[in-house]
Amino acid sequence: MKTLLKNATLFNEGLTFKGSLLINGEFIEKIYPYRLPGTLDPESVHIIDAQGLLLLPGVIDDHVHFREPGLTHKGDISTESRAAVAGGVTSYMEMPNTNPQTVTQDLLEEKYQRAAELSVANYSFYIGATNDNLREVLKTDPQRVCGVKIYMGASTGNMLVDDEETLSALFRNAPGLVAVHCEDEATIRKNTEQMRKKYGEAVPVSAHAQIRSAEACFLSSSKAVRLATKYGTRLHILHLSTEKEMSLLTSGRPEDKRITAEVCVHHLWFDDRAYDEKGARIKWNPSIKTVNDRLALWEALLSDKIDVIATDHAPHTLEEKEKPYFQSPSGGPLVQHSLVAMLELSNRGFISREKVVEKMCHAPARLFRIDRRGFLRENYYADLVLVDPGQSWVVKPENILYKCGWSPFEGGGFSHTVTHTFVNGELVYENGKINEKVRGRRMKFDR
């Protein structure tokens, strides 16, 4: 049976209009601006009256850590993909710093097989680079894998790539897109020792921005840009956090650039004044920095120097997060709340709804050249989200779906509510309930 989303307000490619959308199987069959034709047979079409609701393409999050395998006490593909669709995220790209780390083709395919069994959202997985797995990286098929992840700074286990010959070989030869985490390890170590001299082991969380400093970020990201420029690499710089790094970027469409950039929701929402209230709940790497850094990120996002908004969703248990600074891990959960958080910021005048859709749906699809996702277009996959712009709510433990059970937004309210999410034409989320039978698909890339 076909499904008709009737009388919604559609947001697509900079346009906002009242209309309806017809789903047939996995795909969008027809978009009807303003009026419906009189030829639809109501007995063969399931109709959802979307009067008063916003209809958006599904969010594509290019940066998540779902913790499977090996770290599943924090989160797993099943729980985190369910939180994702509840937040309007229909596709995600997951990072390799699991246990074991995803640094071989066999381990990569094991993740894809696991996601095919468990994920209610569409998926892709990065292969991780190390100092000694270049041959494995070069086997990667860029039409079936979102990218190669390089940690150019401190990282889990042995994933820090600091061998200069290996770095050059990766930038010169890596298949497809190279995504980088940029923080300079030597600078972080120096700053850490200075803080230890000042505080001993009782370093406050508020010192995180000085330890993981703006200089540490710029030294590493500027090096990545130099290497990419030298070798013509298709470079994507993840979770930018500083004003200084904006000088490395150019404005334009993501599909026209060789070097693109991502900003995460927490770097747009918080600045270092929030450490006193939130503590380690907003301890991320790279760190949340000053208000001037946050405002510079906003300016770069709105001028198209920064291309996409993502989450760096990285759950840890509260028990882990509440440990002293040096034992408390960095990262936090975000996929359930990223879209409503950005729409809340739109309500507050920071960004238009159209720009939210551009940066969270269209731009990731363009940047990664994803096959037929990220837009409201006929013959594209029906990855869709309905949002009620007038249904406010408060984030509480009872409505948090992350396995870790907490959120940095806990106790705060949002003005928008995700009511329905479709993945490949199937209704996977409706008003708080998840259809456990739905399974997402492996994303493909037109490269």
**Smallest Cα–Cα separation from 332: which of 343, 344, 318?**
318
**Smallest Cα–Cα separation from 212: which of 233, 239, 184?**
184
Separation of CA 328 from chain center: 22
**Cα–Cα distances in Å, from 215 out to 91, 205, 329, 358, 425?**
33, 19, 22, 30, 46
How many helices and strands (H and E) does the chain possess? 14, 20
In CATH, 58-368 is 3.20.20.140: yes
Burial grade of 185 (CB within 10 A; 0-12, 13-18, 19 or more)? middle
Would you state the structure tokens that stand for residue 163, as one six-digit string?
């061998």
What pLDDT does 153 receive? 72
**Smallest Cα–Cα separation from 351: which of 8, 9, 10, 11?**
11
Q: Are 60 and 146 in contact (CB under 8 A)?
A: no
The Cα 325–Cα 200 span in angstroms is: 11
For the chain, the first-to-last Cα distance in angstroms comes to: 34
What pLDDT does 154 receive? 62
Q: Which residues of the chain have pLDDT under 70?
A: 37-42, 154-157
Burial grade of 279 (CB within 10 A; 0-12, 13-18, 19 or more)? middle
- The three-point CA angle 172-176-179 to 5° equals 80
What pLDDT does 38 receive? 64
The Cα 285–Cα 239 span in angstroms is: 9
The Cα 428–Cα 82 span in angstroms is: 9
Residue found by looking up tokens 């949340």 in the block: 288
The full set of domain ranges for the chain reads: 58-368
The Cα 315–Cα 114 span in angstroms is: 19
What pLDDT does 157 receive? 59
What pLDDT does 345 receive? 98
Rounded mean pLDDT of the chain?
96
